[in-house]
Amino acid sequence: MSDQRILITGAAGIVGTLMRPRLARPGRILRLLDIAPLEPAAPGEQVEIVPGSVTDAEVLTRACADADAVIHLGGVSREDGWERILEVNIDGTHTVLEAARAAGVPRVILASSNHAVGFRRIGEAGPAGLPADSSARPDTYYGVSKAAVEALGSLYHSRFGMDVSCLRIGSCFERPVDVRQLSIWLSPQDCARLLEACLSTAEPGFRVLWGVSANTRAVVSQSEGERIGYHSRDDAEIFADQVPPGELPGYLGGAFCDIPLGQHNPL
Ligand code: 15L
């Protein structure tokens, strides 16, 4: 049997960097694409480096050749000007999906974000937590782009039968840094577990899932992920005494709900 090849866009970003060692497996080649420099393959590491942008159709055509799956993490990861968000996140995702379709890649995982529903009130859905497919209530142009990413994924599933998972990622960092993140933290290990579950679903489908750990202070539902075999083993609570005291925000998107629209923001 030939090796499984997985294309990861945005591989030099925060999540991509955390996933590189965690998704490595015997019999699997990780093809890493980014406009930013990537560490060359370490001895024994099954890695192929593709320098380039998600907005470049030629690069994506090469990157998708012989790929079994695409994990699309690339793009602008916070608020920015409309033109840039449109070009990189919306056009860029279209470029990725189009290249994947043309190359016959059967499975695509798209990084969405909690900011697609950032203006949903924490607690609005009761104790079960906010369902993963709650309709969009974006908090920024960035959040709008993530809603569009999900819509594109739905279209490519319905039209072409592609298996598409959209992950509404909470805060995927080594550890949570504030009270809000104690609720929506996605541990790097859980992120890898979630991606593995998406990579191994049997039936081609379209799904929107939360990318969040089973945190004690959870505010979103775990059930959709569990249905495809994602079982979180981490809980942000172990870091609670290292987080500065504070209040949980009223809206899921937290500070994104208040930052100036369309301005590059370091948050
Ligand atoms: C996101 O979507 C961002 O990409 C990330 O940088 C964090 O801001 C995260 O959401 C969050 O809400 O904590």
- Rounded Cα distance between 264 and 84, Å, is 10
Total-model pTM: 0.98
The residue from 142, 156, 230, 251 that is catalytic is 142
* pLDDT in the model for residue 266: 76
- Do 74 and 34 touch, CB atoms closer than 8 A? yes
For the chain, residues with pLDDT lower than 70 are 267
Is residue 230 among the annotated active site residues? no
Ligand 1 mutation target, pool 15, 76, 77, 146, most atoms within 8 A of CB? 77
- Rounded Cα distance between 107 and 46, Å, is 20
CB of 173 sitting under 6 A from ligand 1: no
* pLDDT in the model for residue 1: 78
Ligand 1 mean position to 104 CA, how many Å? 31
pLDDT digits 0-9 by tens, 59-72: 999 999 999 999 99
Q: Whose CA is nearest to atom 13 of ligand 1?
A: 171
* pLDDT in the model for residue 190: 99
Ligand 1 mutation target, pool 72, 73, 113, 267, most atoms within 8 A of CB? 113
Ligand 1 mean position to 214 CA, how many Å? 18
* pLDDT in the model for residue 203: 83
* pLDDT in the model for residue 267: 65
Q: Whose CA is nearest to atom 9 of ligand 1?
A: 171
Closest atom of ligand 1 relative to the 171 alpha carbon: 13
- Rounded Cα distance between 190 and 229, Å, is 12
Ligand 1 mean position to 186 CA, how many Å? 11
Q: Whose CA is nearest to atom 8 of ligand 1?
A: 267
* pLDDT in the model for residue 265: 84
- Do 206 and 159 touch, CB atoms closer than 8 A? no
- Do 211 and 172 touch, CB atoms closer than 8 A? yes
Structure tokens at 259: 């930052």
- Specify the pairing of strand 206-211 against strand 163-169: parallel
* pLDDT in the model for residue 181: 98
CB of 113 sitting under 6 A from ligand 1: yes
CB of 114 sitting under 6 A from ligand 1: yes
Report helix, strand or coil for 174. coil
